[in-house]
Amino acid sequence: MEQFIGQVGVFIETHQSYALLLAGIIAFGESLVIVGLFIPATALMMLIGGLMGSGIVEPLPIFVGSIIGAILGDAVSYLLGRRVGRSVIYRWPLSQYRPSVARARLFFKRYGFASVFFGRFLGPIRSTIPLVAGMMAMPHRHFQIANVTSAIAWAAVMLAPGWLAGHTASQLGSFGSVEWIAVMAVLTVVFLVGTTLILRKLAKPAPRRRRAALPQASES
């Protein structure tokens, strides 16, 4: 995985004209149902952010491409759920991931609009929440508002740590490959642990209130 991420970084560095397209493809795939489970988007986006911070690539095209890709990925997943309906979870390949879809459905039922916005940041459900929103017939306008606003925030959050590391490195001196891998690994672990803790906190069921005991009818 580290070798693949490194190859992506080398490709972007040597083919800067494709940086916007590649950032868009990564964000699109990360947001696409099922596909997003297999894309190391967090590490890739942090790597691209590092290239931005070190001045190797222009920040604005990367930022714009990431936002557009994230919006389109969620929109496609939403439309799939909207068109096919709930039967989509019984079809391959989603039939192999029914527990993940079930968790996303519970999360959506509990938080509605907020689940679409914050779900993009929560790794285990990020690529299934838009599908569930479509299945549950969430109004298109409400979904797109959450989709667009969360895509902007997501792109900023994903790129910012790498940008900060790259900017700092350019000020203090160039990092070697080992140092870069270490920095990206630490940032990735911190992000994944943080999102996992947040997801568990949000998914924790609310305590049930005990019903007051009904007075027993007195015997006549």
Tell me if 170 is assigned to some domain.
Answer: yes
Check: pTM over 0.75? Answer yes or no: no
Tell me if 208 is assigned to some domain.
Answer: no
Tell me if 213 is assigned to some domain.
Answer: no
**Cα dihedral sign, 60-14-70-103:** negative
Tell me if 220 is assigned to some domain.
Answer: no
158-188, pLDDT tens digit by residue?
Answer: 888 778 777 776 665 555 555 555 555 566 5
36-57, pLDDT tens digit by residue?
Answer: 777 777 778 888 888 888 787 8
Whole-Å CA distances, 20 to 64, 118, 121, 212:
8, 25, 21, 61
Tell me if 217 is assigned to some domain.
Answer: no
Which amino acid is residue 59, in one-letter code? P
Radius of gyration from C-alpha coordinates of the chain: 21
Tell me if 214 is assigned to some domain.
Answer: no
ω before 161 within 30° of 0 (cis)? Answer: no
Domain ranges, residue 159: 2-203
**Cα dihedral sign, 132-136-137-139:** negative
Tell me if 218 is assigned to some domain.
Answer: no
Q: How many domains does the chain have?
A: 1
